[in-house]
Structure 1
Amino acid sequence: MSTTAYAGPQPVQDRLLPVKETYKDIFHEGAAAEYEKAMAGARELVLNFLQHNRQPFSGVSAAELKAAFAAVDFDTPLPDYDSLFNEVQELYVKHATAFHLPAYIAHLNCPVVIPAVAAEVLIAAINSSQDTWDQSAGGTLMEQQLISWTAREIGFGPLADGVFTAGGSQSNLMGLLLARDYYAATHGNHNIKQHGLPVDASRYRIFLSEKAHFSNHKGAALLGLGEQALVEIKTDERFRMDPELLEAAIIRELQQGNIPIAIVATAGTTDFGNLDPLAEAGRLAAKYNLWYHIDAAYGCGLLLTEKYRSLLNGIETAHSVTIDYHKSFFQPISSSAFIVKDKQYLRLLRMHVDYLNPKDEDYDDLNQINKSIMQSTRRFDALKLWCTLRLMGKQQLGVYTETIIETAEKAAEVIALDPELELLSYSDMGVILFRYAPESHKTADLDALNQYIKKAMFNSGKVLVASTRVNGVFHLKFTMLNPLTTLDDVHFILRTIKQHGAAWRR
């Protein structure tokens, strides 16, 4: 029997097995050349996407693209990277929506900053999982430090904590879940995690604006409360939750024998870019002893700017806050967070299992899975924000946010003064709703006219705008999240809208 001690794994080139060809596609120490070749091809695709795109969409039809996909055979691999990237170019990159172009002014998609894109390469290659300390030591501390930084920007104290999430919808679900479980635990000594919903859960009530994000409705359904638990509050002329109506609704539900448990305020509505009265809602939450959650998925960008930070006054009174870095911090998808004022609240989510985070190996509360819901394996998305802040700083991001808001203000004025357009509302941030409604079309079906304009522009691919209905009326929507968009770009988009409107035939 040999007594030679095991010296650890040997470099690939020193092993006897012919691993170079057999395992050349696996990311390991012997695949550096293959990695370099793959990255060079991907880099070339990205550069072509940047340098040759002149409009935000190709205009391809669904039927045309489906026909191209029908020819793909997964049982027959492609021979090389050139073939692979040519296929990806034709099926995906060529038709990908270019959010960085000023003529894209549709949804809440921001252009991304380059330090975060570089971080994506590291994230994918090293492939850390953020659920436990033993899977991502430095990554865990990076994430926790960014959570602490964000909490301080919100105005929370040293007890604050949180976790990165897949997006604002997941963070909003976590806010509702903690509101539900916290009420049951503190008012009825009932553990929902162990025993399910209490008998009085059907009387739980959550108050939110009628313009709040749909994820709250889906979250209430997933939590077993049902949409009937949501009490929608009418908004003012700027589509912001009316605090007087909010308090009246709380009193009414109490009189009816129901149980108010939470208020959800929105800092930056999807359809209007406006903020609910955060301080007033927080005052009412405190008065009636309710959980206070703020959905700042969009409005979180205001944390970056001195000039407009006051719009978020009152956010510091919340129990929990939703943050979407991939909306207003110019980060690639996905990069979001759920922040709580007191880390003790997150204990409602904690669950131990021996194969992942046993109680005897809690690593000084460094296992991030203790703070998340149904997301064990989780990407190291925090690295993107880390690289962004360390290289660019908060101030530069704040300048971008200020530029967007100021351009949106000027764009709204242009629309308001144009006799062929009808502006619906001004925005706190960058969402503008309006209609093409020239005097010559006053007797026309303006909904049909504006629907035609949006569809015609989408089919051409040259300009992409969004739309929504307000009180049943169809409106075109600008969502401004690009600091590169200028007033000249806005004038070009409006001219394009008018050109398509003039071509409409009733």
Structure 2
Amino acid sequence: MSDNLLKNIYTAEEFEKNATKLFKMIKNHLQNTTTGKADRTLNWNEPDKELNFWKVFLENGKNEDFFTEILKRSTHTHHPKYVGHQVSASAPITILTAMVSALLNNGMAVYEMGMSPSAIEKVVTDSICEKIGYTSDFGGFLTSGGTLANLTALLSARKAKVSHNVWTEGYLEPLGIMVCEQAHYCIDRAAKIMGLGEKGIIKVPSQESFAMDIKKLEVSYNEARAKGIKIFAIVGSAPSTATGAYDDLLAIADFAKDKNLWFHVDGAHGGAAIYSEKYKHLLNGIAQSDSVVIDGHKMMLMPTITTALLFKNKVHAQHTFSQRADYLLHDTEEEDWINSGKKTFECTKTMMCMHWYILLKFYGEEVFDEFVTRQYDLAKDFENTLQTDPNFELATSPMSNILCFRYTDSYQNDERLNQLNTSIRQELLEEGEFYLVQTKLRNIHYLRTSLMNPFTTVDHLNLLVNRIKEKAELLLNKN
């Protein structure tokens, strides 16, 4: 390889040439998506065809066409007709923080490889702890997603509540955690990674609203104890992913205190409601939790992937992982916020704290209040639309910005309706105007909208309803 190639890659002129072109494209992309001028939220392609396209492009595509193609061939979360998965239409200013993070590439495992981001991260996590209602000795850190954060929290719970040191001694008795049957699958995954097995996941039944049935807590707990399982933690969903239902955190907090359990709140999606004056009541009891997870890339307008894991007691943020790496880390009794590698699964991680900090600095907490409140209100408006249309049935009244519903027809049984709604969603996906997802609840197939886009209006949702009815009519006429 010629030295000239490397030198050319790193020239400011080479960067400016590519960046100037890309920034113009990003500007146009934002204008066309946020205004709805772009006619599609995605250009659907079969997986094998998409794979083949990129194989061929690597060999034969023009370099200057790469960004054009990736913008065209990806899902447009900034389009108001995006009502799909729970990722935000990231605030454009975070494009710049992502770019600076990629440039500086400070890995943050130890302080000297992340001086500014280590300090910024502490400012950010302390401010969230205060918003949660933690009063003193709190602490936390940022990590790569809710799945990793929830696993870390449960490891912290095990460390704090189990009498022997599982980290060094292994399991000496069967252990378990309690969680609603409607909780996010990552809680099951975390429990199994921890070696608890199926028997160590005590599923508490849900109410009609799909929130945890608090009346079943004592029964579920006693049944597990009768099987010899020592329960060390209970998880409250804020909200559950499938339906957006918030568990009664205050009641769970009381139960946890009574049984001496670690109380963890999975607020990956809806923990951001702590900033909403109108909806923060949904999180009553969160201040009594031992740990909380909140995703910045869901309801806080940040790019994937950045998650806050917060602890009532900062000691638990540091003591989960006890191992030595003498060239990097040394055990200390005092708080060691400067060395991120002590607290997280990651050794290296991105400077994700900049996304949180710049939004707080430029726009303040008000931006989170406005966004969460707007989107939760919009779900209520959409509920009103669906309730007045006899062709639709709701799974439950929305507590957040997630709403599950299905197209119904009195001449069809549930099996046929499941097939019909699956087909409607696939038709919409391939058409590409709207992007929504689907879920199955108690063997019923529902269409599912997560209202993540700040430009989505009731008019867009009314249009979605019309599109669904058009697809349903065509499909029914075929049969």
Both structures adopt the same fold (TM-score exceeding 0.5): yes
Superposed CA deviations along residues 37-93 of structure 1, whole A, max 9, x for unmatched, are 12113213323433443311112233432332232456x9x8xxxx32403422x22
**Distance in 2, Cα, partners of 1:365 & 1:402:** 33
Match of 1:39 in 2: 19
Q: Which amino acid aligns with 1:133?
A: Y
Gaps of 5+ in 2: 33-37
Instruction: Show the 5 A alignment for 1:44-443.
Output: 44-52=24-32, 53-73=38-58, 83-90=62-69, 92-184=70-162, 187=163, 190-195=164-169, 197-200=170-173, 203-345=174-316, 346-359=318-331, 365-373=337-345, 375-439=346-410, 441=412
Shift of 1:381: 0.3
Q: Which amino acid aligns with 2:65?
A: N
Shift of 1:193: 2.2
Percent of aligned pairs sharing the same letter: 24
**Distance in 1, Cα, partners of 2:460 & 2:273:** 24
Paired residue total: 470
Match of 1:445 in 2: 416
Shift of 1:359: 4.9
Q: Which amino acid aligns with 1:351?
A: Q
Q: Which amino acid aligns with 1:110?
A: S
Match of 1:489 in 2: 460
TM-score by length of 2: 0.93
Q: Which amino acid aligns with 1:33?
A: E
Superposed CA deviations along residues 365-415 of structure 1, whole A, max 9, x for unmatched, are 411111112x10110000011111100111122111111111110101111
Superposed CA deviations along residues 166-214 of structure 1, whole A, max 9, x for unmatched, are 1000011012111222223xx2xx222222x2321xx212110000010
Match of 1:6 in 2: none
Q: Which amino acid aligns with 1:191?
A: N
**Distance in 2, Cα, partners of 1:38 & 1:350:** 45
Superposed CA deviations along residues 240-269 of structure 1, whole A, max 9, x for unmatched, are 101120122112322333211110110011
Equivalent pair of 2:87/2:304 in contact (CA under 8 Å): no
Q: Which amino acid aligns with 2:167?
A: K
Q: 1:22 to 1:291 in 2, by over 3 A?
A: closer
Q: 1:363 to 1:32 in 2, by over 3 A?
A: farther
Q: 1:364 to 1:267 in 2, by over 3 A?
A: closer
Equivalent pair of 1:295/1:323 in contact (CA under 8 Å): yes
Q: 1:158 to 1:361 in 2, by over 3 A?
A: closer
Shift of 1:450: 0.7
TM-score by length of 1: 0.88
Gaps of 5+ in 1: 1-17
Q: Which amino acid aligns with 1:87?
A: F
Match of 1:23 in 2: 7
Shift of 1:20: 6.9
RMSD over aligned Cα atoms: 2.1
Q: Which amino acid aligns with 1:112?
A: S
Q: 1:291 to 1:71 in 2, by over 3 A?
A: same
Shift of 1:288: 0.4
Superposed CA deviations along residues 452-474 of structure 1, whole A, max 9, x for unmatched, are 10000000111111111111111
